[in-house]
Structure 1
Amino acid sequence: MSATETMTASRPNTDAASSTTAPSKPAIKPHLMTSTWHLQDPSTWNFWQRMLVRLDLLQQPKDAPKAPIRVGEKVPYYPAWRQHAWIFPRAAAPLVIHYAYMRLTGWTLHPVAAFFFYVISFKLFAVASVRKFNRMALRYGYFDGMAPRDGVPDTQSRKVVLSLLGTISIRPLFALCVAYDRHALPSLSWYFPLQLFLYACILDFFFYWYHRATHEVSWAWRYHKKHHMTKHPNPLLSAFADEEQEWGDILIIPFLTWLCMPVDFSTWWMCTTYILWVEALGHGGVRMYWPTTTTGSILRPLGMDLCLEDHDNHHRHGWKRSGNYGKQTRLWDTLFGTKLPRDECREDNIDWSYQAY
């Protein structure tokens, strides 16, 4: 019997019903993170949902092959140099275009034009990154693979998209206000790798204490608990949070970092592009030893490197029961005793001969 027939059969006969009718049970409200809209008829999708589908950003779209579940297998290894080979040319491309424009025309790029140019560049980089994470997941599977990954919630698609757009738009606006010199040619120092490392560590210091406070201080948790409604996140949920947390992530922490380490706009752009890559990566859940590009290579000999599994583990814990508060390193988690053990990315469970592509 079909679901429709079952419902019809169970419906009371109004002709034979008595005058006294039993009270109906209250409807069960769907969980805030329920995601079924992408399985419905496309004509029912709203504007934000159509945007996500057209940009091919969904982690588990309708009719897509299911990610493999790999229980008991060693995890593959994604070398940092492969990540740099993918990230660096895409991050540097806007600077090269900006440089060529100034050299060939002799004109400067007005701050308003620079804002739109770099925001569009951020969006293109973000779309390419999310698509890459999703492809990798379909090939290599997810951590805690027996549990389904959370999708974009049915009732929160607008919130998810606007949060991502805010992250991508407000940070360049801030940098243009404090660091942009329209007369300076875009350039990078030869010691940019060191700048990237220091910038990420400083930013992570502020984020660590802010993030830890939202888990351990009662009144602060209410500003973070929406973000933790996802226990198995996807990259599109990396900015999904209450507005107060969004402003902390998007503006306050980057501003404190810049005050400690003022850099020119070109260096800021490259550092922030790498940092956003790591932030989205941490919510991808792809099952492999995937170290962060900002600090992992330097901190790995000290056991303070951050890999993708670390933030995935963090999301499975809630108020006062968590750890792995850093999002670029495990430096501060190690020093202050909040580092969580890894379940699958243990040294003895990494297949170093199996390099991911």
Structure 2
Amino acid sequence: MENEAIIRLSIFIGLFALLATLEAIAPRRERRQPRSRRWVTNWGITLLNTLALRALAIALPFLAVGAAIDAQAQGWGLLNALTWPAWIEVVAAILVLDFAIWLQHLITHKVPLLWRLHRVHHADRDMDVTTAIRFHPVEIALSMLLKIGLVYLLGPAAIAVILFEIMLNGTAMFNHANLRLPLWLDAVVRRVLVTPDMHRVHHSVHREEHDSNYGFALSIWDQMFGTYIPQPKAGHDDMLVGLEWQDDRPSRFGWSIALPFTKK
């Protein structure tokens, strides 16, 4: 769609700047590592991810939004065979796509090969807004392939895919942010959306805790399927974030990119 990339990028930059500012004003936890090195690494990984998706776009005729437009033109997908009102189709598509991302996230924790990729995200020893963009390029490419396939099967309108991508990126940055919300507000928001305190449990060093709270946007899936843990055992101030590498290695770009291919 015309100007779609510019609109999404503008919203992303605006939300990132807002959340980074709020983190500085009202941080939830003290940082374990200097922000500068982590941010250079996490943004470097994001740049690599952008290049990986550009390469994927060369190999494939369409990415997610393009796939939605193509599916509609060809009449492919469940929603293109139905005559529901447009707003119902948009809501249904967003719910299905969000559940698919939740399920994909759970699977990446259960399948050893996928976990090797996903642990690049979990290895970050601090959680802040940049953790939301710290994913290995191979994982990003595989996730996009899954999304394209789902879009062809579901047949959502392009606007639904765009709205979902904006929601997913925005909520991911929000719930990874090192942001102190009033407890009463956290309790209200997490009934619908994943909050920073809720998602921080998922980044615990303890396996039983990081195998919970898989949601990125909507919190309902964890509550429905019994994967919800409300608070970390050690408390938010004292819990360890990350994995077994509790040193400076996760803040290094080369180490992070090579992590899926190391023996350990």
- TM-score above 0.5, yes or no: yes
Secondary structure at the residue paired with 1:252? helix
Q: Which one of the candidate residues 243, 247, 259 is aligned to 2:141?
A: 247
In the other structure, the counterpart of 2:169 is: 276
Are 2:215 and 2:221, in contact at CA under 8 Å, matched by a contact in 1?
Answer: yes
Structure 1 stretches lacking a partner, 5+ long:
1-110, 183-188, 346-357
* Amino acid across the alignment from 1:267: A
Confirm or deny that 1:306 pairs with 2:200.
no
Are 1:238 and 1:280, in contact at CA under 8 Å, matched by a contact in 2?
Answer: yes
Are 2:64 and 2:151, in contact at CA under 8 Å, matched by a contact in 1?
Answer: no
In the other structure, the counterpart of 1:179 is: 69
Summarize deviations over 1:242-287 as a string: whole Å, max 9, x none.
Answer: 22311233x1343354245422223332232122211222221211
Alpha-carbon separation, structure 1, partners of 2:177 and 2:33: 9
Report the CA distance between 1:155 and its aligned residue.
5.4
For residues 1-357 of structure 1, what are the structure 2 equivalents within 5 Å?
114=2, 117-142=3-28, 145-148=29-32, 151=35, 152-153=37-38, 157-163=43-49, 173-179=63-69, 192=87, 197-249=91-143, 251-259=144-152, 261-288=154-181, 300=191, 305-317=193-205, 319=207, 321-322=209-210, 323-342=212-231
Summarize deviations over 1:122-155 as a string: whole Å, max 9, x none.
Answer: 222111110010122222222xx13447735355
Summarize deviations over 1:23-71 as a string: whole Å, max 9, x none.
Answer: xxxxxxxxxxxxxxxxxxxxxxxxxxxxxxxxxxxxxxxxxxxxxxxxx
Query: What is the count of residue pairs matched by the alignment?
Result: 213
In the other structure, the counterpart of 1:35 is: none
Report the CA distance between 1:315 and its aligned residue.
1.4
* Amino acid across the alignment from 2:127: P
TM-score (norm 2): 0.64
Are 1:141 and 1:286, in contact at CA under 8 Å, matched by a contact in 2?
Answer: yes
Are 1:232 and 1:312, in contact at CA under 8 Å, matched by a contact in 2?
Answer: no
* Amino acid across the alignment from 1:135: T
Are 1:208 and 1:332, in contact at CA under 8 Å, matched by a contact in 2?
Answer: yes
CA-atom RMSD in angstroms: 3.7
Are 1:278 and 1:328, in contact at CA under 8 Å, matched by a contact in 2?
Answer: yes
Are the structure 2 counterparts of residues 133 and 157 from structure 1 closer, same or farther at C-alpha, using a change threshold of 3 Å?
closer
Secondary structure at the residue paired with 2:134? coil
* Amino acid across the alignment from 1:308: P
* Amino acid across the alignment from 1:240: R
* Amino acid across the alignment from 1:339: Y
Are 1:325 and 1:338, in contact at CA under 8 Å, matched by a contact in 2?
Answer: yes
Larger radius of gyration: 1
Comparing 201-210 with 129-138, greater Cα deviation is found at: 201-210
Are 2:67 and 2:152, in contact at CA under 8 Å, matched by a contact in 1?
Answer: no
Are the structure 2 counterparts of residues 266 and 160 from structure 1 closer, same or farther at C-alpha, using a change threshold of 3 Å?
closer
Q: Choose between structure 1 and 2: higher helix proportion.
A: 2
Secondary structure at the residue paired with 1:282? helix
Summarize deviations over 1:69-118 as a string: whole Å, max 9, x none.
Answer: xxxxxxxxxxxxxxxxxxxxxxxxxxxxxxxxxxxxxxxxxx7xx3xx32
In the other structure, the counterpart of 1:26 is: none
Query: What fraction of aligned residue pairs are identical, expressed as a percent?
Result: 15
* Amino acid across the alignment from 1:223: L
In the other structure, the counterpart of 2:80 is: none
Summarize deviations over 1:148-179 as a string: whole Å, max 9, x none.
Answer: 47735355653233335767997994312431
Alpha-carbon separation, structure 1, partners of 2:204 and 2:123: 9
Secondary structure at the residue paired with 1:263? coil
The structure whose RCO (Cα within 8 Å, separation 6+) is larger is: 2
Summarize deviations over 1:195-219 as a string: whole Å, max 9, x none.
Answer: 5553343223222232222223333
Are 1:199 and 1:257, in contact at CA under 8 Å, matched by a contact in 2?
Answer: no
